[in-house]
């Protein structure tokens, strides 16, 4: 259908499960895509898996750096002529620890990536989107942005924070036809959840995955593609009247 025909998309966290899946889907739908991530080898692999070198480029990027975000936007401009969509997807899970024991170094890293990253991304993308006459920004939040879990305070705090960022940015972007929304996945069947499962059950004696799935009415984790399809809708003109919204893709977990 080419729902993103002639659109230029920048995806942070572009080598991860959701980011690379979204990149592949967006290219299939006609977009030109820049994947940005801190892991260059994983980026190369993601580009190879998409298999369309004319339509997908990559840049090594630490989203906790404003300069790196600016370079990533410039990569999209230099490679494809502009920027229409920012998928601010990069994120880290931190550790599973109670607040009183939470390592401050880890806390600061989560805040730097999960909160400062989207802020810097939006700050860098707005001028180019204004020049293009509008755009769509999608921030990956989480069901952890809508409720507490326990023992993942930095992650939960960060995912609540980006909803506030989205609401502010949607107000500021609207006069220039820039839409801003969040996507809030339930547990997704990828690397991050393997890490969190291990954190909740270090000795492997429990049934962490089954316990999480029991909290989801559809009784399964999301697949990466489940999340990417919602991102596609928000990136496309089909959602041209949607901004300032929180969009769970959670199998009914927050119902």
Mean pLDDT (the chain, rounded): 97
User: What value does the mean pLDDT take over residues 64-87?
Assistant: 98
Examine the pLDDT at 204 and tell me if it is beyond 90.
no
Confidence tier at 137 by pLDDT (50, 70, 90) = very high
Percent with pLDDT over 90 in the chain: 96
Percent with pLDDT over 70 in the chain: 100
Which long-range CB contacts under 8 A does 241-245 form with residues at least 24 apart? 242/179, 242/181, 243/170, 243/173, 243/174, 243/179, 243/180, 243/181, 244/166, 244/167, 244/170, 244/171, 244/180, 244/181, 245/181, 245/182
CA pair distance 181, 159, nearest whole angstrom: 13
- Which residue numbers are catalytic? 155
Confidence tier at 206 by pLDDT (50, 70, 90) = confident
Tens of pLDDT, residues 209-222:
999 999 999 999 99
User: What value does the mean pLDDT take over residues 185-207?
Assistant: 90
Give domain 8-188+223-249's CATH number out of 3.40.50.2030, 2.60.40.3950, 3.40.50.720, 3.20.20.70: 3.40.50.720
Q: What confidence score (pLDDT) does residue 1 get? A: 73
Q: What confidence score (pLDDT) does residue 205 get? A: 74
């Amino acid at each position: 259908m080419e729902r993103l025909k002639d659109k230029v998309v920048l995806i942070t966290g572009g080598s991860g499960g959701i980011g690379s899946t979204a990149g592949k889907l967006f290219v299939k739908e006609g977009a030109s895509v820049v994947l940005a991530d801190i892991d260059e080898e994983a980026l190369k692999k993601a580009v190879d898996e998409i298999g369309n070198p004319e339509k997908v480029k990559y840049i090594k990027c630490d989203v906790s750096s404003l300069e790196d975000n600016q370079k990533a936007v410039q990569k999209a401009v230099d490679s494809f002529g502009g920027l229409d969509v920012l998928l601010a997807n990069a994120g880290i899970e931190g550790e599973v620890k109670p607040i009183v024991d939470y390592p401050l170094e880890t806390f600061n890293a989560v805040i730097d990536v999960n909160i400062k990253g989207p802020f810097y991304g939006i700050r860098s993308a707005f001028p180019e989107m204004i020049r293009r006459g509008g755009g769509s920004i999608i921030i990956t939040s989480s069901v952890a942005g809508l409720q507490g879990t326990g023992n993942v305070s930095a992650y939960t705090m960060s995912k609540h924070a980006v909803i506030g960022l989205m609401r502010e940015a949607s107000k500021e972007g609207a006069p220039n036809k820039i839409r801003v929304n969040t996507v809030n996945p339930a547990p997704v069947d990828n690397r991050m959840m393997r890490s969190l499962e291990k954190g909740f059950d270090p000795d492997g004696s429990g049934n962490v995955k089954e316990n999480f799935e029991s909290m989801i009415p559809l009784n399964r984790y999301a697949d990466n593609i489940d999340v990417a399809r919602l991102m596609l809708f928000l990136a496309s003109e089909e959602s041209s009247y949607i901004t300032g919204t929180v969009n769970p893709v959670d199998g009914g977990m927050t119902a």
